[in-house]
Amino acid sequence: VTPQRRAIFQALLEDDSAHPTAEEIFDQVQDGMPDMSLATVYNTLHELVDMDLLLELDLGPGGRHYDVNTADHAHLVCMGCGRVEDVDYDPSTVVLSPEHVQDFQIVERMAIFRGYCSVCISQGKGPNGVS
Amino acid sequence: VTPQRRAIFQALLEDDSAHPTAEEIFDQVQDGMPDMSLATVYNTLHELVDMDLLLELDLGPGGRHYDVNTADHAHLVCMGCGRVEDVDYDPSTVVLSPEHVQDFQIVERMAIFRGYCSVCISQGKGPNGVS
DNA sequence: ATGATTGCAAATACTTTGCACACCC
DNA sequence: GGGTGTGCAAAGTATTTGCAATCAT
């Protein structure tokens, strides 16, 4: 545990609704630690992921996002502003066909919903607005 | 509609259980059309996605996968061999908390299950095997 | 001729790696 | 002093873009 790692972890906790990308964490940490290297950010993120303290999310282009909420939950991704929200859902409601479940040992699941948040809809950026 | 596009679309249909990446489609199409350019593959894939004839899947590192099955379905990704299988599931079973659904206009959903397929488990590559 | 599409190569975005230096025990 | 972690820069992977050449109408 080094000062760099502490700073990165702290940035993640402060930003806990933001699901930041590696780049965003890097920018934020650089404020108080200008010598921080991007490689260190990636190193630390990977270690945290290996320790199951952090979730790595592939939400599409723009880089991978990281989430300190390691509980089983889904994500809403706004196609207007890119914001990501956590959503609780009942995991037991996601049921797969039995023939697949028997053949396949599931380790982790991930549910992503894409759409438009209320802010973007009210700004006309929604599905009916200009794309 | 050009010969290149026809070849790409045909490759997708032939490969319809493989969920190929752009690179894989490129390799396959090159067999019969050595002058095919990777840029053309990307162009065509994007057009097909825009026309809703193709699904673009972000399944993690290794590039984006494409799926000719545009029905609402989930994906099983094998962490041993990388193989991707379609799974039917009942979309109505995926229920989100009401407060989020009200605020958020969902356009598309995506469910990904990661784990190990029966082949990999029997080869000791499963969750209990060597990582 | 006109406009769209292609192939090539360079550019971009994101992530990983190699290596020398600094740090802690 | 030995192993670990860091910063820098270069390499790597995946995708996009610019542009001249080509094709269909």
Tokens of residue B113, six digits = 């299950």
Chain C bases closer than 7 angstroms to a protein Cβ: 5-9, 13-18
In whole angstroms, D8 C1' to A13 CA is 28
pLDDT at B72: 87
pLDDT at B131: 44
Query: Within window 40-69 on A, which residues have Cβ closer than 7 Å to strand D?
Result: 40, 43-44, 61
Residue A36 buriedness (CB in 10 A; 0-12 / 13-18 / 19+)? buried
pLDDT higher than threshold 60 for residue B130: no
pLDDT at B95: 65
pLDDT at B128: 64
pLDDT at B8: 95
Higher pLDDT, residue B94 or A67: A67
| Strands A105-116 and B55-57, sheet pairing | unpaired
Q: Which of B66, B62, B61 is nearest to B44 (CA)?
A: B66
Q: Annotate B73-131 with DSSP letters as a single string.
A: -EEEEETTT--EEEE-B-GGG--B-HHHHHH-EEEEEEEEEEEE-HHHHHTT-STTS--
Report the percentage of chain A scoring pLDDT > 70: 92
How many residue pairs bridge chain A and chain B with CB atoms within 8 Å of each other? 113
pLDDT range class, residue B93, cuts 50, 70, 90: low
- CA B81 to chain CA mean position, Å: 15
- pLDDT digits over A55-66, tens only? 999 998 889 999
pLDDT range class, residue B15, cuts 50, 70, 90: confident
pLDDT higher than threshold 80 for residue A89: no
Q: Where do runs of H (alpha helix) occur along chain A?
A: 3-14, 22-32, 38-50, 98-103, 118-122
pLDDT at A109: 87
Lowest mean pLDDT among A32-36, B71-75, B95-99: B95-99
B95 to A114: CB separation less than 8 angstroms, yes or no? no
pTM over 0.75: yes
Q: Is the CB of A35 under 7 A from strand D?
A: yes
pLDDT range class, residue A18, cuts 50, 70, 90: confident
B108 to A114: CB separation less than 8 angstroms, yes or no? yes
pLDDT higher than threshold 70 for residue A74: yes
Strand order in the sheet with A105-116: A84-87, A74-78, A105-116, B105-116, B74-78, B84-87
* Among A94, A102, A119, A122, the residue to mutate for chain B (most B Cβ within 10 A): A94
Q: Which of B50, B31, B36 is nearest to B5 (CA)?
A: B36
A65 nearest nt, CA–C1': C14
pLDDT at A131: 43
CA distance A65 to A22: 7
pLDDT higher than threshold 80 for residue B9: yes
What is the overall mean pLDDT for chain B? 87
